[in-house]
Every structure is written in structure tokens, then in C-alpha cells.
Amino acid sequence: MEFDVLGKIIAPILTGVLGILIKRYFEARPRLVTWLIHAAAIPLNDGNGTTVNTHSIVVSNTGKRTAYNIRIGHNFLPAFQIFPQLSHEVIRGADSSAEIVIPTLVPGEQINVSYIYFPPNSWSQVHSYCKSDEMSAKYINIIPAAQLNKLQISVIWGLMFVGTSTLVYWSLYWLWQWAS
């Protein structure tokens, strides 16, 4: 049997099986992401020049498994509110540092933590980390963008499959030639 026929049959099958295995490996776990929604300095117009600083962060589990013991670390912990309200614990440390500990975030769940504080503190001085028992959260910068429609996504996945299948084919061809 010629390699060309065998390679054309095996490469797409092998690519599909590898794709499924890789997808299951990477998706079968929690995935924490966090981002800053906004930061603002709000003048109170009280005649004293008082300003109040505020910002919000979102912590989201975009994975396929529940994340346990989510810890949001703070260099200092100002007044805050979590939405939606859920069970949490505040663990205070030395030098006004603290952690907000949330027992679980199920897949697809997200929380918004809003803070309020006074200058000279700024939003960049509040947070130190976000993590769970399984992983550290990935900090992302949000840039608003239009979402692709299903046809565009299907075309992209189709082209990726064809490209990967071609790479597998040429890899098998090279191995076949090397073994011969």
C-alpha cells in the first residue's frame, strides 16, 4: 500500500482524535480569569475638594469544573461589596493586607467586587493576586470587540482542521520516508 493513500486516510482521523483529546484535557478543569471593569475618581463637591476613588473587578470561572477557595489578595482592603451577594470570608493579615476567600465558583459563574476608598490610594495599589486551590487567575485586559458569527467561527475551525491535518500528513510522510 502506498503512503499517499494511507496518509490521506490516517491524517484526518488522527487529527480529529488528537483534537478531541486535547480539548478534553484543557477544558476539564476550572479556569479563573479576572479583569478591571472601571476605575474612577469622583469629586464630592462638598466645598472641601474631597474626592472618592472607586473601581470594580470581575472574577469569573470560564472553565468546565468548579473552582474552590478563590482568594482575592489585597495590599490593603478598602470598603467593598460583592455582587451577587454570596458567602465569603475576610482574612486580615499584617500591615492592613487581607484576602477575600470565596468557597466556590461553579462553571460559568462570575462575581463583581466593587471598592471605594480615598486618595492618595489608587486602584493599582489595592490588589495583589487572585487564585484558587487549582490555579492562579489569569489577568486580562478587556478591549470591546464584536463577536464573530457562527459561520465565521465554523470557517476558522475548518481551516484550522485542514491545516493541522496537512501538518500531520507531512509529518507521517516524513516518518514513512525516514523509516524506509
pLDDT over 90 (residue 151): yes
d(CA 21, CA 161): 14
pLDDT of 172 = 83
CA distances from residue 53 to 6, 26, 47, 126 in whole angstroms, order as listed: 66, 39, 17, 11
Q: What is the pLDDT of residues 41-77, one digit of tens each?
A: 899 888 888 899 999 999 999 888 889 999 999 998 9
CATH numbers and ranges of domains, the chain = 3-28+147-179 (no CATH), 32-134 (2.60.40)
Mean pLDDT calculated for residue range 99-110: 92
pLDDT of residue 145: 74
- What phi, psi does 7 have (nearest 5°)? -65, -40
Q: Coil, strand, or helix at residue 134?
A: coil
Against a cut of 0.75, is the pTM above it?
no
Q: How far is CA 9 from CA 1, 5, 108, 150, 175, in A?
A: 12, 6, 38, 28, 16
